[in-house]
Amino acid sequence: MLGADLTLFEEDERRLAAVLRRLCEEAKSRAVFLIDKSGQLIAAAGETANVDITSLASLTAGSIAASGGLAQLLGEKEFSVLFHEGEKDNLHISVVAQRAILVVLFDRRSSLGLVRLRLKRAAEDIGQAFAEMALRTQQEAGRGRAAFQAQFAQFTDEDIEDLFKS
């Protein structure tokens, strides 16, 4: 086992996306991203078209990991919030539900105070969603997994060769 793997079903994605959309609106932010601590995007909302999301996810996870390392050095449990202030845009990065990172991208139309205020509820909702996801993954992992087993898990070495053909 390589640790707790994350499995996302369709309804989880819809639910998390809805939380992010509301946060994006209420915090008057440009975009909101939910990222796994290992640097993979879970869900996003807002003006995401012009953002290189994959890079954003990996770099945010890197900075959270680095500041986590710093916290340990100083005997802190975690520095759970990072704030980057730019000329136009600002980034508010925070750890939610222990395992995920919530990134809020906002400009002058919003403020740090508003973002922090609206974040609280979103963080709670996300924590709740994760808890239920973990529970359900255990209970009825059946459905999606059945499809996964019926399809993906039937792959052969040839499929992998094909992947590397070009």
Partner 1 sequence: MSFINYAAREINCKLVYYGPGLCGKTTNLQHIYSKVEPSTKGKLISLATETERTLFFDFLPLELGSIRGFKTRFHLYTVPGQVFYDASRKLILRGADGVILVADSQIERVEANIESLENLEANLAEQSLKLDRLPFVLQYNKRDLPNVVPVEELQTLLNPNGVPWFEACAKKGTGVFETLKGVAKLVLNELKKKT
Residues in contact with partner 1 by the rule CB under 8 A: 1-10, 12-14, 36-40, 52, 54-55, 58-59, 62, 65-66, 68-69, 144-145, 147-149, 151-155, 157, 159-164, 166
Residue type, 138: Q
Min CB(70)–partner 1 separation in Å: 9
Q: Which is nearer to partner 1, 17 or 114 (CB)?
A: 17
Q: Which is nearer to partner 1, 71 or 114 (CB)?
A: 71
Q: Which is nearer to partner 1, 138 or 151 (CB)?
A: 151
> Nearest 5°: CA angle at 74, between 126 and 77?
25
Min CB(131)–partner 1 separation in Å: 18
The gap from C-alpha 65 to its chain's centroid, in whole angstroms, comes to 14
CB 126 within 8 A of CB 97: yes
Min CB(28)–partner 1 separation in Å: 28
CB atoms within 10 A of CB 60: 22
DSSP letter assigned to residue 10 = H
Q: Which is nearer to partner 1, 83 or 155 (CB)?
A: 155
Strand order in the sheet with 100-106: 41-46, 31-36, 100-106, 90-96, 81-85
Min CB(139)–partner 1 separation in Å: 15
